[in-house]
Amino acid sequence: MPPKILVIDDDPSVCRLIQDVLELEGFEVAVAVDGFAGLRQIEADRPDCVILDVMMPGLDGHGVLTRIRSGGGRHLPVVMLTAHADDHQAWQAWSEGVDYFLSKPFEPVELLRFLDHLFESGPESTTQSTLSR
């Protein structure tokens, strides 16, 4: 089975880009449009990784990440995206336990490199990238 990725972002164009790129690479992708919906979907679908926007209405990415990390159980890899990256933003994400941090706009290849690395050693590793890296 391909790894399941959950994208939590309130920007439909970002969601569509990530979904298209990841599905082309063989990942199973689901989308949530805000933090609360994302947390519900994590409970329901048990994704293998979450791609999480920082700035969202309601519950922002930091709030989602804090709830993921305080939930106990298995470690869920989280990639955080932000359009307003600075040293403080990155430090905060790392201190909250993010696994990878990307600034928007980002190159999809960079995201794919991280995901390939994340899943290369796991038993569910089924992805072979078709994009040159």
Looking at the chain, the whole-number percentage of residues with pLDDT higher than 90 is: 66
Q: Is the peptide bond before 12 cis (omega within 30 degrees of 0)?
A: no
Give the separation between CA 44 and CA 118, rounded to whole angstroms. 22
Contact indicator for 30, 5 with CB cutoff of 8 Å: yes
As a whole number of angstroms, the distance between CA 75 and CA 72 comes to: 8
pLDDT at 12: 94
Q: What is the pLDDT of residue 123?
A: 36
Using one digit for the tens of pLDDT, what is the confidence trace for 72-110? 766 899 999 988 766 777 777 788 889 998 888 889 999
Q: 3.40.50.2300, 2.60.120.10, 3.30.1300.10, 3.40.710.10: which CATH number matches 4-120? A: 3.40.50.2300
Kindly give, in sequence order, each residue whose CB lies less than 8 Å from that of residue 90, ignoring residues fewer than 6 positions away. 101
Contact 104, 84 (CB under 8 A): no
pLDDT score recorded for residue 130: 37
More reliable by pLDDT, 121 or 131: 121
Chain mean pLDDT for the chain: 86
Structural element, H or E, at residue 118: helix 108-120
pTM: 0.86
